[in-house]
Amino acid sequence: MKELKIQPIKNGTVIDHIPSGMALKVLRIIGIDEKGVDSTVSVAMHVPSKGTGWKDIVKVEDRELDPKEVDKISLISPSATINIIRNYEVAEKHKVQLPKVIKGIVKCANPSCITNLNEPVETMFTIKSKSPLKLRCHYCDRELEDVVEHII
């Protein structure tokens, strides 16, 4: 826990190595701007990071992220590390991984795509390029560049 520049937590999740400036987008993904969140969330922004300059850290008490939230974080922050904390110890630590197929977490930019027509069709994208991140819609082939803006 020494490497974390913020207070240790008893149970919860620490999302580390978020690119500097992206912490607020991570908060949106984990629903902090919605009503009904009852856990404490702390944010450290612009923290010195070994090798990579600066990073942000988000700490969520008493909650572990669901797989969709982790996938969303991988879209905005492919270098992030998820630390699951149980009883003040890091119980699990893993790097996020960009899924090969991205299902149900990004909206297609094409208004006439079947996924935008009130059909019960979940959005599905494949990765066209990782850096910069570009996705391709499985249904209409539309390429999506501003991925972060289209996270559902």
Round to whole Å and give the CA distance between 81 and 108.
Answer: 27
Q: Least CB distance from residue 138 to Zn ion, whole Å?
A: 8
Closer residue to Zn ion (CB): 18 or 137? 137
Residue 113 is a binding residue for Zn ion (CB under 5 A): yes
Contact criterion met (CB below 8 Å) for 150 and 76: no
Give the full edge-to-edge strand order of the sheet including 89-95.
41-49, 53-61, 12-19, 81-86, 89-95
| Binding region for Zn ion (CB under 5 A) out of 59-67, 88-96, 111-119, 124-132 | 111-119
Sole binder of Zn ion in the list 81, 139, 148, 151 (CB under 5 A): 139
Q: Least CB distance from residue 144 to Zn ion, whole Å?
A: 8
Round to whole Å and give the CA distance between 56 and 45.
Answer: 4
Round to whole Å and give the CA distance between 56 and 46.
Answer: 6
The footprint of Zn ion on this chain (CB under 5 A) covers a number of residues equal to 7
Closer residue to Zn ion (CB): 44 or 105? 105
Residue 108 is a binding residue for Zn ion (CB under 5 A): yes
Round to whole Å and give the CA distance between 37 and 45.
Answer: 21
Sole binder of Zn ion in the list 127, 140, 148, 151 (CB under 5 A): 140
Contact criterion met (CB below 8 Å) for 137 and 113: yes
Contact pattern for Zn ion over residues 66 through 105, marking x by CB under 5 A: ----------------------------------------
Closer residue to Zn ion (CB): 113 or 147? 113
Distances (CA, A) of 44 to 4, 71, 119: 10, 22, 41
Binding site for Zn ion (CB under 5 A): 108, 110, 113, 137, 139-140, 142
